[in-house]
Amino acid sequence: MDTEDIPGGKASPHPRNSRPRVFQSIKFFVLCHSLLQLAQLMISGYLKSSISTIEKRFGLSSQTSGLLAAFNEVGNTTLIVLVSYFGSRVHRPRMIGCGAVLVALAGLLMSLPHFISEPYRYDHTGPEDTSQDLAASLCLPTTPALAPDSSNGSCSTFTEVRHVTVVGVMFVAQTLLGVGGVPIQPFGISYIDDFAHDSNSPLYLGILFAVTMMGPGMAYGLGSLMLRLYVDIDRMPEGGVSLTPKDPRWVGAWWLGFLISAGMVALAASPYFFFPREMPKEKHELHFWRKAVAGATSSVSKVEDSPSEQSPGESSKKQDNPAQVAADLTVIQFIKVFPRVLLRTLRHPIFLLVVLSQVCMSSMVAGMATFLPKFLERQFSVTASFANMLIGGLTIPTAIVGIVVGSSLVKRLHLGPMRCATLCLLGSLLALVVSLPLFFLGCSAHQIAGITLQPGTQPGVEPFPGCMAPCSCSVDGFNPVCDPGAGVEYITPCHAGCTAQVVQADQDKNKVFYSNCSCVAGGGPVSAGSCDSACSHLVLPFILLVSLGAALASVTHTPAFMLILRGVKKEDKTLAVGIQFMLLRVLAWMPSPVIHGSAIDTTCVHWALSCGRRAVCHYYDLDLLRNRFVGLQFFFKTGSLVCFALVLTVLRQQNKEEETKATASSPGPQQQLLMSGQDKKPTDSSV
C-alpha cells in the first residue's frame, strides 16, 4: 500500500521501518542523488578531457576516438525507452544503485588498458635497452639497417592482438557506461517527485540540476590535474624521463582520472541499496523557501496548464498520469502503442522543428565538448592540461549561466509560445554572430622539413631534404626538434642531420640540444621539442568568444523545452520528452563526435605508422583544421537558427488562423464583434 494513501501520511507497519531514519528522508535522497549524478557526469565527461592523450597513447585516429566517445550513447539509447514502461514496476533506488555499480565498473574497465599494456616508449626507434632520446634519433650512417629492422621487428601477431584487445576493452567500457546511466536520472527524478512535498519538489529538483551541472566542469578540471602527471607514474624508468608537458610526445596519466571517478561513483552508489521502495510522503513544506518555491511552482503550473487551455471541455477534466497508463500495459502492448505515439508526436510541426533545432545545437555541443581540447592544443600549442583548465573553468560555467538566464527570463516575464520562440531565435542569431571571428583567430603552421613547404617553393621528389641523405633515419620515428632561427621543425634530429646531443642542467629539469646538424645553417644547435606557435597569445580571445557563444546558445535551452511541452497534447507530454531525448541521442550525440573526428582527420598532413597501418596524426594543416572545425560549428548553429525561424513562422500562422476562426464564428452586428474581440484579448495574451 502506498504510504501517501495512508491517513496522516504515516507509513504502515512494515519491516522497512527498521531501517535507519536517515534512509526514510527524501532530503537525504536528494543529497545522495546529487552526488551520484555529479560523479556520473564526471566519469562520462572525463574521456572528452583526455581524448587527445588516449589517441597518442594507443595510436588512434580522431574518427576512432570520436566513435569511442559516442559509444556510451549506444547502450543508453537502446534501453532508455523501456524506462518509461518499467518506471513504476521496479525498486527504483536499487535499480539506481545497480546502474551506478555498472558505471563504476565501466570506469575501472576504461583504466584497464594502462595495466595490460607495456610501458609507454615515446621514441620507438631504438631497441628496449637503448636509452630513449640518446643515440636512437641521431644521424648514424654506419647502421643502414636500423630503420627497416626497427620498423618491422616490433610488429608481431601478439602486438596486433594486444592493440585490438585494448581498443575493444575501451569500447565495451563505454557501452557499459551508457547502460549503467539509463536508470539513474529518470528513476531518481520520479522518486523525488513522488515522495517530496508538492511545494518542495521544484526546489529539490533545482538543487539536483544545479549540482549535476557542475559535473562536466569538474571532469575537465580533473583532466587538467591528471594530465600533468606522466602516464607511467606507477612504473617510472630509472633516471626518470626527459619529457615535459609541452613536448608533443608527452602522455599524461589519463587512466588515473578514471580510477578516481569510478571510486566516487562507487561511494555514491552504496546508500541506494538501503533506501526503501517507497518512503513516507514528506508532510511539511520548507518554510524558509516558501516564497521562492511558490513562485517556481506557479511558473511551472502555468507552463504545464497552457496546452490544456485550448477548450473549456479539456480544462474541466483532468487527464490520467501517463506513467500510470504505461504501468497498466503489458510489454507487448507498450511496444505496440509506442510507434503510434511516436508518429502522432512527430506530426506536431512545433515539436518536430524544435527537436530538429535542438539536434543541431546538441551536435555542435557534442563535437565541441569532445574535440575542443585537442583543437586548442594543436592550433595554439598549449598543453592538454591548460586546455582542459580553460574549458572547465570558463566555457562550462558560462554555459550554465546561460541556462539559468534563459530559465529566469521564461519565469520572470511569463513568456508565451511566441515570445519563447523569439527568445530562441535571438539567442541562436547572437551565438552565430559571435562565432564568425573564430575563423580568423589562428595562424598557419610553421614549416616542417619535408612535410610543409615555404610559400613559392615546388615540391621535390624526395620526401626529405637531401642534406640528410647519408643518414639512416627511421621511417616511424618522432622526436621533433626546432631550429628557432629559421622557424623550421624537423621530425627527428636525424632528419636535421644531427650527430651529437648536449644536455644542459637548468634548475630542476634538463634541457636537451642537438648539434653538428648538416641541415641547419651553422650546424645548430637545435632544441628538442616542437617550435612554439606564433599565435599562442590568441588562445584567450578564442576561448572567450567560444564561451560567450556557448552562453548565448544555452539561453535557448529552457524556452525550447517549454515550446515542446506546449506543442503536444497533455497526455503525450511524458513520452514526448522521452522521444525528444531519444532523438537527440540518435541524431546528435552519437554521430556528431564521429563527424567531427572524420573532419579533423582530413586535415592531417603527416600520419604516424604502426605496423604498416595509419595511427595517430603528428601534424595538421592548421588553417584547414580551423576552417573545418569552426565551420562545422557554424553549420550546426545556422541549422538551429533556421529551425527557430520556422517555429516562429508556424506560430504566427497558427495565431492568424485562430483569429480568423474566432472572427468568423462570432455572429451579430459589428459592435458585438468589437466587444467579443475585446473580451478575447486577455485569453490570447495568456496563451
Cβ–Cβ < 8 Å for 274, 23: yes
Count of domains forming the chain: 3
What pLDDT is recorded for position 172?
93
Q: Considering the domain boundaries, does residue 205 fall inside one? A: yes
What pLDDT is recorded for position 510?
67
Do residues 101 and 234 both lie within one domain? Answer: yes
Q: What residues make up the domain containing 489?
A: 470-532
Q: Considering the domain boundaries, does residue 314 fall inside one? A: no
Q: Give me the CATH number covering residue 583.
A: 1.20.1250.20
Q: What is the pLDDT of residues 215-243, one digit of tens each?
A: 899 999 999 999 999 998 888 776 667 77
Pick from 546, 241, 225: which is nearest to 395 by CA?
Answer: 546
% of residues, the chain, pLDDT over 70: 75
Cβ–Cβ < 8 Å for 255, 111: yes
Q: What whole-number distance in Å separates Cα of residue 504 and Cα of residue 528?
A: 12
Helices (H), 527-669: 539-554, 557-566, 573-584, 591-601, 622-664
Q: Considering the domain boundaries, does residue 144 fall inside one? A: no
Beta bridge mates, 501: 514
Do residues 508 and 557 both lie within one domain? Answer: no
Do residues 91 and 178 both lie within one domain? Answer: yes
Cβ–Cβ < 8 Å for 571, 319: yes
Q: Considering the domain boundaries, does residue 683 fall inside one? A: no
Q: Considering the domain boundaries, does residue 653 fall inside one? A: yes
**Of the residues 238, 254, 286, which one is the last residue of a structural domain?**
286
Q: Considering the domain boundaries, does residue 4 fall inside one? A: no
Do residues 113 and 259 both lie within one domain? Answer: yes
Q: What whole-number distance in Å separates Cα of residue 107 and Cα of residue 110?
A: 5
**Of the residues 481, 500, 532, which one is the last residue of a structural domain?**
532
Pick from 37, 75, 54: which is nearest to 264 by CA?
Answer: 37
Do residues 279 and 197 both lie within one domain? Answer: yes
**Of the residues 245, 268, 286, which one is the last residue of a structural domain?**
286
Note the pTM of the prediction, 2 decimals. 0.80
Q: What whole-number distance in Å separates Cα of residue 190 and Cα of residue 210?
A: 17
Positions in the chain short of pLDDT 70: 1-19, 81-88, 123-136, 141-156, 238-240, 284-335, 338, 452-466, 468, 505-510, 567, 569-575, 666-687
Do residues 552 and 647 both lie within one domain? Answer: yes
Q: Which three cell numbers stand for residue 172?
A: 565495451
Q: Considering the domain boundaries, does residue 640 fall inside one? A: yes
% of residues, the chain, pLDDT over 90: 33
Q: Considering the domain boundaries, does residue 317 fall inside one? A: no
What pLDDT is recorded for position 334?
65
Do residues 265 and 412 both lie within one domain? Answer: no
Q: What whole-number distance in Å separates Cα of residue 326 and Cα of residue 156?
A: 56
What pLDDT is recorded for position 135?
54
What pLDDT is recorded for position 163?
83
Listed in sequence order, the residues at least 6 apart from 372 whose beta carbon sits closer than 8 Å to its beta carbon are: 387, 391, 395, 546
Do residues 423 and 439 both lie within one domain? Answer: yes
Cβ–Cβ < 8 Å for 211, 382: no
Other beta carbons within 10 Å of 80: 20
Do residues 383 and 371 both lie within one domain? Answer: yes
Do residues 55 and 166 both lie within one domain? Answer: yes
Pick from 227, 233, 235, 234: which is nearest to 252 by CA?
Answer: 227
Do residues 629 and 607 both lie within one domain? Answer: yes
Do residues 75 and 170 both lie within one domain? Answer: yes
Cβ–Cβ < 8 Å for 391, 218: no
| CA dihedral angle for residue 624, residue 627, residue 628, residue 630, rounded to 10 degrees | 150
